[in-house]
A and B are shown apart, each in its own frame.
Chain A
Amino acid sequence: MAHFGISLTLFAEVRGEFRRKDGKTLARLTSRAGSGESRNMDAAPRLVEIADAFAAAHLEAILIGNAAAALHGAPVTTLDFDFLYRASAGNEIKLRRVADLLGGHITQPFPAVSTVFRILREDSQLQIDLTSQVHGVKSFNSLRSKAVRVEIEGRTILVASLPDIIRSKREANRPQDLAVLHVLQRTLEDQENGQAGTA
């Protein structure tokens, strides 16, 4: 199974005053990022570039991991984009074509796992990890059947469903996955409550 070196943080928005019931202040916290506005880099231009390269190479891949979770509304951040592709010799050729189109170089970061590829373009800080296997997902088709199509600047991106992302992270069972499970689970609950509220 694939193990990516993904590091992550939650949006830092700790602020406020914590009071006892009798009104006495217990603690007061402030944060530079406490305005509630996200200052992180906009991933939209990168996603557009990736979608264009996938389309030109005729590669179908599904966005997974924290980038996908963030598009579902989870307040998480990431350094890279993770995709699941269908394992085939033809698709491996297409991956190399995608790397060329993006002006990056392609490597296999885990020699023991031949189905994991990394496209890196260091000057513009673009990293894409592509795998044909992911924890908790039976097949490409099963993930695709529940994936959501997101339109960004006229390009369509296939994004894995939030329950699939949660299942994948739970089964991967790495510290960095377990660290965000609570946030993803809360996001899913809020989504479901919102849908129930509007139904």
Chain B
Amino acid sequence: MSSKELSKTKKTAKPAQRDLALETMREASEQELTLMIRRQLALPMNKRTHFLRKRLPNGGSCL
């Protein structure tokens, strides 16, 4: 295999792995979102009240 062909192989292999990693993370993120939603839905409406963020003196906010 010539050096040109090798470099082509590398160029195509890297994005494939990157795409796979991104897709895997996207799926994991969706699964985590589903779990978060189901945890909330398992509670009665009047117990889903931990949603307020705290206002900080410098104008920002935090959880």
Extra inter-chain contacts (15) besides given A16-B32, A73-B48, CB under 8 Å: A13-B32, A20-B24, A26-B20, A40-B50, A71-B45, A73-B37, A74-B37, A75-B40, A77-B52, A79-B61, A148-B45, A152-B46, A187-B37, A187-B40, A190-B34
Binding site for B on A (CB under 8 A): 7, 9, 11-16, 18-20, 26-27, 33, 36, 38-44, 46-47, 66-67, 70-79, 125, 127, 148, 150-152, 159, 183, 186-187, 190-191, 194
Query: Across the interface, which residues of A come within 8 angstroms of B43, CB to CB?
Result: 73
Query: Across the interface, which residues of A come within 8 angstroms of B28, CB to CB?
Result: 16, 18
Minimum C-beta distance from A184 to chain B (A): 10
Bound form: Cα–Cα A196–B39 in Å? 18
Considering the complex, give the chain B residue whose CB is closest to the CB of A48: B49
Known: A13-B36, A150-B45. A41 touches B24 (CB 8 A): no
Bound form: Cα–Cα A183–B50 in Å? 17
Given A66, A186, A190, which contacts B51 in the complex, CB threshold below 8 Å?
A66
Query: Across the interface, which residues of A come within 8 angstroms of B48, CB to CB?
Result: 70-73
Considering the complex, give the chain B residue whose CB is closest to the CB of A12: B63
Query: Across the interface, which residues of A come within 8 angstroms of B46, CB to CB?
Result: 44, 150-152
Q: Are B51 and A40 in contact (CB under 8 A)?
A: yes
Bound form: Cα–Cα A157–B63 in Å? 24
Bound form: Cα–Cα A152–B43 in Å? 13
Considering the complex, give the chain B residue whose CB is closest to the CB of A36: B39
Q: Are B49 and A186 in contact (CB under 8 A)?
A: no
Query: Across the interface, which residues of B come within 8 angstroms of A159, CB to CB?
Result: 45
Q: Are A26 and B24 in contact (CB under 8 A)?
A: yes
Bound form: Cα–Cα A41–B63 in Å? 7
Query: Across the interface, which residues of B come within 8 angstroms of A39, CB to CB?
Result: 50, 63
Contact with A along B12-41 (1 / 0, CB 8 A): 000000001100110011001111111111
* Residue of A7, A18, A27, A79 ringed by the most chain B CB atoms within 10 A: A18
